[in-house]
Amino acid sequence: MFLRYSSSVAVCLFRTKHRPRIQAASVLCISRHYIIYDLAEKMYNRQTARSDRYKKKLKEDIPVSSTARLEILSPGCHGQGRCVLLRTALDRYLFNCTEGTQRHAVDIPFKIGPVYNIFFTYNSWNNVGGLLGLMLGMTDSIAPANKFLLHGPESVDAILEFKDMFSENSVRGKHEWRGIEHKQYEDNQLTVDYVELVSSKSCTMSPPSSPKQDTSNGNGQSRISRNDEKTVMAYIIKLKELRPKVDPEKLHALGIKTGPWLKQIINMETVTFDDGKVVEPDDVLMEGETGCEPLIILDCPSEDYLDSLLSHEQFINFKTIYGTQPHMIIHMAPSDIVNNSKYKQFMDRFEERTIHLMLNENSQGPYLLRSQENQELFHQIHPKIFPELHPVYDKQPEPQDGNLIQGLYSLAYTIRPKKSRGFQWDEVLYSDKSLVYDKFKQKAIDNARKYLPTIYDEDEMKKWDNISEETIDEQMDTLRNKLAELEPNTDISNEYPEVTFLGTGSAKPSIDRSSSCILVQLKRNDYMIMDCGEGSLLQMFMLFGKEKTEHILSNLKAVFVSHLHFDHHGGLFSIAEERERVIREQGRKDRLLVLAPVILKKWDYFYSRKVSGHQSALQILHFDAEMFTEIVKQKLDLIKVSAMPVNHTSTSYGLAITHRDGWKLAYSGDCTPSGSLIEHGQDCDLLIHEGTFDDSQIAHARVKRHSTTSQALEVAEKMNAKFTILTHFSQRFNYIPLFTDKFTDNVGFSFDFMQVRPSLYKSIPLLKPLLDIMFGAQVRKKMDVTNESVEEQEEKLKKLYSMKNALHKNEIKFKEQSGQSSNETTAGNESKNISDSTTVDSDKSKKSGKNNKQKFVKQKQNKNVRNFSTEVDRSTDIEAGGENNKNNDNVSSGMSGLTSDQSEDVTKNIKRKVTEQLGETKKLKTEDLETS
């Protein structure tokens, strides 16, 4: 199959029949230069592809959708913001994008797909915290030519300026910000009117003028002042009316054959036939479904906006302007504002039939169905290591009566068709505890059956062919007997450190594993956090509940950020804001100590100026700062602390701490096996090390600078660690890593919400036989099967990433030459240092060069290059290469705009240089633990 995406890029795809997954060999022509590489990916999901093709076919004449529904992704409960999705047959409209939105979008029964319109009510982290993660996460499932529209107050879109600092993946497609001056948004499905609400107060203090400005009051305390001049935007949504439909019964009664005249009828025109018979539209069409009354999305963060709300002309004269009362108002204001007499006065303006949907802290939650089910299963396996989540949703909620509805997670309201209009209470997610264990058993049996056809070893086939409910129950009984013999009978509640894994996933979080976050209780009432990816606060509320979470935040001494990838610090500001609220109620103003690379100050400065509008509540202490050791030792009651550089990005660090009570803990962050970590972590009591990939993906681990599980355990052996727990697993490890002989009795593996103390370490390896039966087949199905050597795989990956860089550079070149402003940036700075060992087919270049050049000049405007490297994890920097990489980057950046003769000369030079580089490439040894 041959596909063409632009005059300068052509792609050929070839599928093989005998591989378990789609394999593709792609040939790309970039300004007469061809690069061949293998690719294993799906373009973008089929549903989205069909939708895009349908829109392209219809062009501007896209019919109004006959279905529309509103879905609550985040109801505003503790640990969450407020976020709703308006879904039609072809389009999605997201209102606010709170932290964790990308996980909620996977948890709900109907996947949301790509969202091209995101509306923000006002600029706060509760509303915008999930934007960066969502857009980076959606980059697999969208076409690059599509444009993101970000609607809302100023500076919301500025967050995307940081995407290249936190990930090497650029957001596909362009993005455009639409502020209050646009007044309205309209497409084929709806119109959205912007309503501006203004604070009645003036700003009491401006944000800091530079990132180095002192934010303390002289006593080490922050001067916090809210910016009351923030603009708040409400939205009035009006769905367009449906096209009339032909009534078959009326048509049959007329006795007239169908024909082109029906189009006139549908366009509400009267038709006169040759025999003089006149047919009116009402004679043929169904009784049209009346258009739905408008919906209002309304946020009012403080009392300062109530006067603007009451006096705004669009609300005062709502019925005059729109001809009807609103059908529903989605209230996103806090409960104390909703109970204010002025706000109630506003609500009383509307008739009783107007539905008021409340999204605030009174909503039940937080909640994720998959997390509830997973934790319930593990709780039945080991109640001490896997405590129950708070609260537990094991019953379907009762429908609420009246026109005042308190929102629930996953609650949907059907707008169209009219006959189904109303709240879908039966779709609200809940977990029946009594069915969870049986559900997972059946799933294990099904996975074993699917795995059997791929097995060639007779003993292995016999093992998985014997999986049944009885064998799983036997393993469960055996495990419980062993645990009863091993576990201590004494109270271990005062045994430290207590380590709680709140997030154990890598890069893009999955529904089963959240982004990296580890909570360590150092001693009674002393806590620290090691990395805090997006959604960490939500995980805390789910595990501990409101009261315990507030206690932890009040006694949180420090946060360690290992490096600047978003899956390791995306939840920092939500934790800081919630802690700030808690300690303010206690009369405290101390700042949260953050141990991080110095560049995090830039992100904090942006947040203070553009998002929060007040002075930073963080005291960022970078690892090279004077007195770093003394400050941390005193704050955390340590004897020794070491933050050592590790091999991942240029600013990645590991951590080793020795507590005054005598125990020692080491944490790797993200890295390949690093000698500095081994040196400083010697003889530690607990090593927490990343194990992103299994051994079949060692080439991926090398290129992305992560560790395989075996490499991590070799580090533990060299470090002489007493016990090791692996974390930061790839998405292929939904539940367990692939167990090998190296998983000995002093090796554990982590899950979200797992909580361990020293006396429980030895219980973790006992879980292997049962977990392997329940999830082992699922893991083995995802293993890479290849006859290529590690070096060949690694070289192929480097070519893929080199092509990715070349595509980005040519895309920018195209935009510059056509006078277009570039809203996208190239991949992260560190990903530019990728080995560019590519093969150039100069013969093909000579034959097609002239035609390609002419088409490029004629069609260079509005062209986008598809980025094919979706194998890459969302938040990993690629660092491989040196001077050779720079040379190749320079060559790639000059491909565009050459004459035919110049192109031929460049082609020969590139081919010669690439041949030399390939000959000089040194093979990496798999047994090396050190990376130069």
pLDDT over 70, % of the chain: 71
449-453, 675-679, 805-809, range with greatest mean pLDDT:
675-679
Asked if residue 5 lies in contact with residue 27, where contact means CB atoms within 8 angstroms, the answer is no
CA separation for the pair 374, 376 (Å, rounded)? 5
Split at pLDDT 50, 70, 90, the class of 238 is very high
Please determine, for residue 271, whether its predicted confidence score (pLDDT) is greater than 60. Answer: yes
215: pLDDT strictly greater than 50: no
| pLDDT at position 320 | 92
The string of DSSP codes covering 423-481 is: E-GGGS----HHHHHHHHHHHHHHHHHHHGGG---HHHHHHHHT--HHHHHHHHHHHHH
C-alpha distances out from residue 164 to 160, 602, 646, Å = 8, 13, 21
Has residue 542 got a pLDDT over 60? Answer: yes
Q: Residue range 809-819: average pLDDT? A: 51
Q: Quick: pLDDT tens for 67-78.
A: 999 999 999 988
- Closest of 446, 501, 490, 499 to residue 469, by C-alpha: 446
Q: Which residue has the higher pLDDT, 51 or 300?
A: 300
Return the structure tokens found at 535: 């959604």
Beta strand pairing status for 184-186 and 747-749?
Answer: unpaired
Q: At 517, which helix (H) or strand (E)?
A: strand 517-523
pLDDT at 229: 56
**Residue from 738, 871, 855 nearest 10 by CA:** 855
Is the confidence at residue 5, as pLDDT, over 50? no
Cβ within 8 Å of residue 139, ≥6 positions away: 169, 170, 171, 172, 867, 870, 874
pLDDT digits (tens, 9 = 90+) for 855-881: 433 343 333 333 333 333 333 333 333
The Cα 859–Cα 864 span in angstroms is 11
pLDDT over threshold 70, residue 368 = yes
Q: What are the distances in angstroms from CA 495 to CA 303, 524, 659, 661?
A: 47, 9, 13, 11
Q: Averaged over 100-114, what is the pLDDT?
A: 81
Average the pLDDT over each of 174-188, 195-209, 334-348, 492-506 and give the range with the smallest value: 195-209
Strands 117-119 and 9-12: unpaired
pTM of the model: 0.76
Lowest mean pLDDT among 132-141, 144-153, 612-621: 132-141
Average pLDDT over residues 171-199: 86
pLDDT-based confidence at residue 784 (cuts at 50, 70, 90): low
The pLDDT confidence band at residue 809, using thresholds 50, 70 and 90, is low
Cα distance between residue 169 and residue 167, in whole Å: 5
C-alpha–C-alpha distance, residues 345 and 205, integer Å:
32
Tally of CB atoms within 10 A around 858? 9
Task: State which amino acid sits at residue 670.
Answer: D
Q: Is 525 exposed, middle or buried (0-12, 13-18, 19+ CB in 10 A)?
A: exposed
- The average pLDDT across 835-846 equals 35
Enter the tokens of residue 52.
């895009």
From the CA atom positions of the chain, what is the Rg in Å? 30
Q: Taking residues 784-800, what's their average pLDDT?
A: 62
Strands (E), 678-775: 686-690, 724-727, 747-749, 754-756
Tell me the pLDDT band of 106, cut-offs 50, 70 and 90.
confident
173: left (phi over 0), alpha (psi -120 to 50) or beta: left
191: pLDDT strictly greater than 70: yes
Which one-letter amino acid corresponds to residue 535?
G
